[in-house]
Amino acid sequence: MCGIVGYIGKREAYPILIKGLKRLEYRGYDSAGVALISDNHQLNVYKTKGKVADLESFVVHKDISGAIGIAHTRWATHGEPSPANAHPHYSSSERFALIHNGIIENYAVLKEKLQAKGYQFKSDTDTEVLVQLIEYIQQNNQIDLLTAVQLALREVIGAYAIAVMDRDNPDEIVAARKSSPLVVGIGEGEFLLPL
């Protein structure tokens, strides 16, 4: 099992996320990544194969600003360990980014459905299907992220803990779980997702 960390509050998210990932390193994993909504409203995703230390080297000289972020250590189940298969995964428009622990059992059916609608995939993971499905539902219904996630998860068979961010709504992280643990930490003016 891999790790999820999320932060939203007033502090810089990146150091908190990295500290959280390091605490989860004992579990074993093959890649690590982070998504942050920067101070200038970009949704930046950085991910590498290897250790959290490799991720830290990778982001040197990159924009790691932002008071909201999600981070992940991956234990591959669908798709080899690689930067493309590491989490977070962007949606096609790069408006949404998602991390996931677990397995989407019916990902192949969902992927075919989305491909038929023109969606292209950058990874071999089951996880990317979920972020594309969320985007598809959000765009087609013009609904908020929370509702889109709820509708998407109705179509999903499997076990999961997920966290999703929306570039256009930098005040929220949507998280959900089924048959997989996830904890919400409530601080003063801040929330954490340690798992």
Give the footprint of ligand GLU on this chain (CB under 6 A): 2, 74-79, 100-103, 125-127
Q: Minimal distance in Å, beta carbon 2 to ligand GLU?
A: 3
For the record, the structure tokens of 184 come out as 């919400």
Q: Minimal distance in Å, beta carbon 157 to ligand GLU?
A: 13
Q: Return the residue nearest ligand GLU (CB atom).
A: 2
The smaller minimum CB distance to ligand GLU, of residues 47 and 100, is found at 100
The smaller minimum CB distance to ligand GLU, of residues 103 and 153, is found at 103
Q: Minimal distance in Å, beta carbon 184 to ligand GLU?
A: 19
Is the bond preceding 83 in cis, omega lying within 30 degrees of 0?
A: no
Of the chain, the end-to-end C-alpha distance in Å amounts to 10
Q: Minimal distance in Å, beta carbon 187 to ligand GLU?
A: 26
Is the bond preceding 88 in cis, omega lying within 30 degrees of 0?
A: yes
Cβ–Cβ < 8 Å for 55, 36: no
The smaller minimum CB distance to ligand GLU, of residues 38 and 180, is found at 180
The smaller minimum CB distance to ligand GLU, of residues 76 and 146, is found at 76
Rg (CA), the chain: 15
Q: Which residues contact 151 (CB under 8 A, 6 or more apart)?
A: 137, 141, 143
